[in-house]
Structure 1
């Protein structure tokens, strides 16, 4: 009696990491970059994987035959067969704040290194190149994948082993039939490639999102290698960590923090002809870089009657006039309904904060803060007895913590 000793069945985990960090050289590329170190087939043959746009990982799940594989076996499940979860699966990734986003994944390739007896002894082939004996054993080279799997590149072999990797475009079994008796067979590890669809990072919070997706391994599981080849682990769990590193930066030109409001054309008409200005205003430009949602709000040293606007104060007469502040943002930044931001009024208090979102990464694009004492305030401001100047502080806040 022959006893088949199987490795202890333990759950197997693998980590998949991705990073979004805005790139000023490519501001319109708003996608995560897969930062998972490659292993397995793509580590051995990076050129093949680059050419085929394949990214592989290797996990130490071993498959051992529980009985001999007979020559010309009638059922594919009695020999070498491979079926992997090539259809899309969806999982949730969660931010520390509780925010949830969706990630989609599918397996796009499978490979390993099979190990058995010396194939020249199994087949009786005398060619010193054992590749020919491998081909005789299975009827064709393992470089050439059985349908519906597809060729992906080179293989590597020794007299008793053969490393391979196949593309898996659909979820269906890919079978190899042994042409000679195989007393035992082992797959030393599990290689797989995968494709991810990640969320739009511009709509995500900065920080880490984590989640997991578990596949079953073994007969009739997600990774199903037939009834003969039994795995050392019944499950394979993918642990995801998506790192979002947003940019929100505002640059105001030197001296831009001191704003002097003047009428159109200056003060000459008032000083020389007594013509009251229609309004006082100043447009202050700034440069903004933004890759995420943000809000803007207004804080005032003096709050005008009614509580929505800042006020300018005449330090002598203690009169106050309204100061209205509004903002225009560059193309690529919109309000939350997707509309362009042009002269949008800022009002005091957190409850009146305005929220904005990027359609793409905006890098050092010009925006404008508009400061104005409106026409309705001019007569009061210039009445006899008013002080010579009005002043006050208005603080404009850009906040990425939304």
Structure 2
């Protein structure tokens, strides 16, 4: 009987997740850059979806139900300024006015520099608090209206004690048009001085598939100009703007799930002819091959690599050796569930290379949860014939197969 001792080593289970987090920083000093961080997290769920971990914008404390219905995330922006508005001015820039930035593509880079992906960021909603001018009635507040003009549509307005909050939807987030308004209680040509604060946005973040991202933290950023003619254009009559620029940082934390199970006693693979030895021992023809396949079960949501090391190297194969020093090669191959791909192709008896530098890279078409594959060991015909010259001997050697989900 020929036996081959196989010692298989596997990486520890890993949880691979992506998060987009938004941390609201304190408002900058005048002239400094305003900055926020948007973040999201992926923790190996089977859908491949990111979990938003960004704190909601302050306007969501006013309109809780509306924010729950959003098909978007929200965040507060640390921008404040004073605005002089003229009721129903012929030039929209002299009314209350805001033009939002166009869609932006952002590159995020893995913290180790080993992977890059692109995000698409676009603003879907806007909100601010406008402190009313006490020289006029509450309802003259320039955002107290259900009829904003231009590229925004009305969602909500809230008025209290000379303060008004608005919430507008952006009609065309990929390329917004200016939005402007005058209060329903104002009179033509009335001029209002209004401090503006509590700015918040709803945003849509189109992210890459986490299933094809390497584990780790990805970072990127986008900078926007603020003020007349800027990416965030606030119209004319603006003063005391606390920052001429806004930087939005993006962080995606990807933590994939990876678990690999083998049945008990899989640390030994006994190679036999197809159908066993009985046919050959009974005087039949020599076996054409010796083989053994070990079943495995895999749970994975992200890419991983596989390679082998050998006690006895023999070309691209591992060797097994008898007591007389005679050695033959064992081919080691891998079959994986259909959701796992190598070079965009299914994995069927794919030869496992020797050494980390030659490792095979696998991607996920979709998450795998407990599906089965096989590890194959084969000695082909010409080498079986040479083994038969040493009847009664035992061939053995160690093969270590490594599944690396840390990449």
**TM class, shorter-length:** 0.7 to 0.9
| Equivalent position SS for 1:49 | helix
CA contact (8 A) 1:63 1:189 kept: no
Give structure 2 stretches of 5+ with no counterpart.
Answer: 1-28
CA displacement 1:272-311 (0-9 Å, x = unmatched): 335422221111011122233222212111223xx21111
Tell me the TM-score normalised to structure 2 length. Answer: 0.84
Tell me the TM-score normalised to structure 1 length. Answer: 0.85
Give distance in 1, aligned partners of 2:107 and 2:210.
15
Q: Which aligned pairs between 1:264-343 and structure 2 lie closer than 5 A?
A: 264-273=274-283, 275-304=285-314, 307-315=315-323, 317-336=324-343, 338-343=344-349
Matched, 1:157 2:159: yes
* Higher-RCO chain (CA-CA 8 Å, sequence separation at least 6): 2
Partner of 1:126: none
Residue 351 to residue 115, structure 1, CA distance change in 2 (3 Å): closer
Partner of 1:173: 178
CA contact (8 A) 2:130 2:141 kept: no
Q: Which aligned pairs between 1:152-301 and structure 2 lie closer than 5 A?
A: 152=155, 154-170=156-172, 171-177=176-182, 179-180=186-187, 181-230=190-239, 231-273=241-283, 275-301=285-311
Residue 345 to residue 70, structure 1, CA distance change in 2 (3 Å): closer
Q: CA deviation at 1:387?
A: 4.1
Q: CA deviation at 1:55?
A: 2.4
| Equivalent position SS for 1:323 | strand
Residue 344 to residue 71, structure 1, CA distance change in 2 (3 Å): closer
Matched, 1:80 2:96: yes
CA contact (8 A) 2:132 2:164 kept: no
CA displacement 1:299-326 (0-9 Å, x = unmatched): 111223xx211111112x2212221111
Give distance in 1, aligned partners of 2:129 and 2:395.
81
Matched, 1:63 2:78: no
CA contact (8 A) 1:20 1:201 kept: yes
Give the count of matched residue pairs: 370
CA displacement 1:328-380 (0-9 Å, x = unmatched): 111111112x1111111123334543222111222222110111121112221
Residue 302 to residue 41, structure 1, CA distance change in 2 (3 Å): same
Q: CA deviation at 1:30?
A: 2.0
Residue 173 to residue 261, structure 1, CA distance change in 2 (3 Å): same
CA displacement 1:146-175 (0-9 Å, x = unmatched): 3431133x3322131111110112311112
Give distance in 2, aligned partners of 1:91 and 1:117.
40
Worse-matched range after superposition: 317-326 or 39-48 = 39-48
CA contact (8 A) 1:205 1:292 kept: yes
Residue 145 to residue 354, structure 1, CA distance change in 2 (3 Å): same
Matched, 1:53 2:58: no
Q: CA deviation at 1:143?
A: 4.4
CA displacement 1:96-120 (0-9 Å, x = unmatched): 22233222211111111111134xx
Give structure 1 stretches of 5+ with no counterpart.
Answer: 1-6, 124-132
Residue 318 to residue 387, structure 1, CA distance change in 2 (3 Å): farther
Partner of 1:4: none
Give distance in 2, aligned partners of 1:251 and 1:151.
55
Partner of 1:145: 148
Higher share in strand? 2
Give distance in 1, aligned partners of 2:65 and 2:88.
36
| Equivalent position SS for 2:282 | helix
Partner of 1:96: 111
| Structure showing greater Rg | 1
Give distance in 1, aligned partners of 2:311 and 2:391.
20
